[in-house]
Amino acid sequence: MSVLNMESEEKKYKFSQEENLLELLQRHGRMIESPCAGKGTCGKCKVKIMQGKIHAPMAEEIKLLTDEELSQGIRLSCLVNPSGDLTIKLLDDKDLKHKILADGYLPGFEINPLLSKKVYILIVLIT
């Protein structure tokens, strides 16, 4: 069993090496944005690897991450399969900053469709 440490948290999560980092985080209630459902195509589930040994970046990560991000240890959690103890930092922690839009501004605009519907009523009198 290996241990995942979250930077700036006292919690430690035990894990086996079969699951990827995104699955591990989601199993422990961490909501990380992943519109592609962990397929490695959206690039939204970024985390920063602070300590630990992981495999080299995959082709999908090289496409979606900049050279600067890769050099800083930023990886896609859905494509990282930790092979030992790991310390990470969440880059966009959705658990901490929820804001609900309660009001807003709707600009005025003119509705002028190309098509319109007209209803005709036909009354037939039989005498």
Smallest CA-to-CA distance from 52 within 3, 9, 92 is with 3
- What topology is assigned to 2-88 in CATH? Ubiquitin-like (UB roll) (3.10.20)
Give the pLDDT of residue 98: 46
- CA 127 – CA 116 distance, rounded (Å): 36
Span 89-115, average pLDDT: 69
Give me the residue label for tokens 């086996």. Answer: 16
Tens-place pLDDT, residues 40-80: 999 989 999 999 888 899 999 999 999 999 999 999 999 99
Query: Which position has the higher pLDDT, 63 or 32?
Result: 63
Give the pLDDT of residue 18: 74
Contacts of 69 (CB under 8 A, 6+ apart): 46
